Amino acid sequence: MYQVPNYTETVSLKLSEVLADIGVDERIVLKTRRSWLLSESIVNIDYQLLDQKIFTYFFGSQSEGTTTRDLNSDTDQLSSNKELLKLIQDWSDWIPGVTNLLMIQDNSVSPGYCLLQFLRDDFPLPAFGVPTQNCFMDRTGKLLLKNSVLSAEHVHGYEVHGPAGVRQGQHGFTDKDHVMALYCTTWPQQARQWLDQQGEGQWPSAEMKQYCNRSGCFVVPVGCSGSEHEQLEWRISTSLAERCFMFNLNITQIRCYVLMKMILKSFIKPLFNDVISSFMCKNVLFNCIANTHSNTWRENNLLFCLTLCLYLLYNNIINEHCPHFIIPGNNLMRGKIPPAVKPYILQILNNIINSEGVALLRVKCDDLGSRIFLNFCPFKTRDIMPGSLLYNLALKISGTHMKDFYLFIDCGLNEAVEKFKNYVSKIFIFQYEGLDKTASQLITPWYFTTLGSVLASRNIYQYNTIPADALKLISFGLNTDVASSRLKLASIFYCVQEIQKTDFVLSEIERRYDQQIVEPVCCCHEYERKIIRYGFLELCYNRNEEVLQYTTASCVIFLPCEIHCVPNELRYEMFRSSQEDKIFRTEKDNMWMDCAVVDSLPYLYFLQYKVYSHLGRQDQKQSALVKLIRTIKEERNLGHRETALNILGKCMEQEGRAGDALQCYLMSLNIRGRNNAAKIHITILLSVLINARR
């Protein structure tokens, strides 16, 4: 039996321990994958409810759990309309009455790529016609689809990098690649031989290969660089199969991959940018696993496994040939390594391989070297990651319902009621299982609450009463989070002057809102978010997504059709933008700037101030005012601080403190100079003061 040398075993175990502290351990990896798969389900259920035939997938290191804080890998999002076009690889798969495209994978195209030929929709024969903007006729008469037809320019909010829209440089967010693709239900012809191959490692297993064969493939709108057909070629993507491989790796294999990426970032990328990519490392890892006995990949053998992968990468660079694991004919290094830099990269890798792990002491990424050498652990990232994952999931939930509510911004009361009823009715039609069921349970309560609020708004406008069906619907959504849905209920009671009921609901919210635990959640605009509450992180560490209803407080969003459920002081937020201001809005701003939006905690104290004013409880009224002021000053994660200052200004006006009110409005304008209701408040306040002096 193979014996691991003591030195290698000692270093391997230390490496494993350090990587676990950084967050690369089984538990965190599984939580990461669950969080991203839930986000994927949320997006796809939302598309389904909106009758859109789009499917979205999250691929890459973030969703695999193979990144760290300092690696900060991209989020890879792939979207496809599976009913837009029918991609086939065999003539027998042709379907009448739809647009069929034949994937051409012969010697005329680069390995790993294909051409898409139009076929007739009435008979399985090539289509004939004239070239168009998106269609090219080659010299043999084939009508081919250009890859420019699926341009990433249509992905809003992203710069275009090749086939992908890329969002970069925003505080608190990872960079995101969003790729549009076409889907084929069958496994690519170029990879069919791979299904029958089996290396020494007996990996992938027969079950994994069966899944791959069923999963089909995507084609991405980018051609092989330098190819004569570059504008016509489509890259074949086996991302679903690759995700299956990653989800079936053991923790030593995952750690090996993470270490390879750390080495790239520390030693190669600073000098040679992206000459060697993490995707090359991934395929090197796959090839090593497939051709190495499974017993090799053990925790006490991590250093040897890493060396094995680096040695294969070294040989690939020498030969300038890194085969795609599934489509070996696709050389991932083709044309990627400039001759001038090749010797230097080889020397770096050679030094690392021969250092027997010593080179890892120079890895600054996630303080890896310091943690190994000094046994120094400033903090364990794995303690923070579950909280960060769940917080991002809360942002996804909040962002999904905000995006959908934008569809109702211009609706009148009756139209909004009917549209929301139609939307909510679909929730009961679809039967979900597994993570899809969990995702549905996370997002659907928001729609019940909002439909209830819209119904209440219509009834308050007509009769100044709250209908029973509205209250029933709102009750279904009370546990979306700690406060936002309950604050809508309190706001509705306040608007019909049911002050005692308002007081009761607000007291319940304050009881539930533990400020040592609860994190505000706002996705209206992108700002640097700081998760600083230890209580939040501690609760999230041992829990899954169900903990969000106890640990998060989303901002409260009132659509224009809900205006009759909004106190007068907050209604001004729906009219924050002059025509000139609207020019300076982003597309995301348009989703919320015509609504009344306020963070939960400031709104809680504002409503308490108003309720205690009505009830004549002066001490409690002043206490609520003090809490509102303190929240605006001290809560670091408010998304709408300018709105909180505006409602504080209205409280100051009620107190007869006009100077303080004006100061609040000016501070609000310092935060958001345009699209701010503070301008309206200042105008009204100055008008009142001037008229009072006459």
Cα gap 44→393, rounded to integer Å: 14
pLDDT of the residue at 4:
55
Angle made by CA atoms 369, 371, 374, in degrees to the nearest 5: 95
Cα gap 217→211, rounded to integer Å: 12
CATH number, domain containing residue 354: 1.10.1410.40
Same domain, 538 and 439: yes
Same domain, 361 and 425: no
Quick check: bond before 204 cis, omega within 30? yes
Cα gap 276→100, rounded to integer Å: 37
Same domain, 475 and 541: yes
Same domain, 199 and 289: no
- Domain annotation covers residue 549: yes
- Domain annotation covers residue 542: yes
Same domain, 360 and 405: no
- Domain annotation covers residue 646: no
Number of domains in the chain: 3
- Cβ contact 76:95 at 8 Å: no
Q: Rg of the chain's alpha carbons, rounded to an integer? A: 29
Classify 135 as helix, strand or coil: strand
What lies within 8 Å, CB to CB, of 349 at 6+ separation is: 310, 313, 314, 317
- Domain annotation covers residue 645: no
- Cβ contact 690:682 at 8 Å: no
User: Among 200, 223, 247, which residue terminates a domain?
Assistant: 247
Same domain, 347 and 388: no
- Domain annotation covers residue 615: no
Q: Which domain holds residue 402?
A: 382-602
- Domain annotation covers residue 637: no
List residues bridging with 88 in a β-sheet. 102
Integer angstrom CA distances of residue 426 from 43, 453, 593: 16, 19, 28
Question: Residue 297 is which amino acid?
Answer: W
Same domain, 365 and 417: no
Same domain, 183 and 253: no
- Domain annotation covers residue 43: no
Same domain, 330 and 429: no
- Cβ contact 285:256 at 8 Å: yes
Same domain, 279 and 240: no
User: Among 378, 409, 429, which residue terminates a domain?
Assistant: 378
pLDDT of the residue at 427:
80
3-state helix, strand, coil in the chain (%, to 5): 55, 10, 35
Same domain, 350 and 393: no
Same domain, 502 and 357: no
Cα gap 127→129, rounded to integer Å: 7
User: Among 317, 352, 378, which residue terminates a domain?
Assistant: 378
Q: What is the DSSP string of 273-315?
A: TTSS-HHHHHHHHHHHHHTS-GGG--GGGHHHHHHHHHHHHHH
pLDDT of the residue at 153:
41
pLDDT of the residue at 591:
92
What average pLDDT values come out for the chain (694 residues) when binned by 10 residues?
A: 70 94 94 96 91 92 92 88 88 92 92 94 88 85 90 40 38 60 95 88 92 95 87 95 97 98 96 93 97 94 97 97 96 94 96 95 92 70 87 94 88 89 83 90 92 96 96 93 97 98 98 96 85 88 93 96 97 95 92 96 98 97 98 95 98 96 97 96 93 77
pLDDT of the residue at 571:
97
- Domain annotation covers residue 634: no
Cα gap 287→322, rounded to integer Å: 10
- The tokens describing 167, both together, are 């969002």
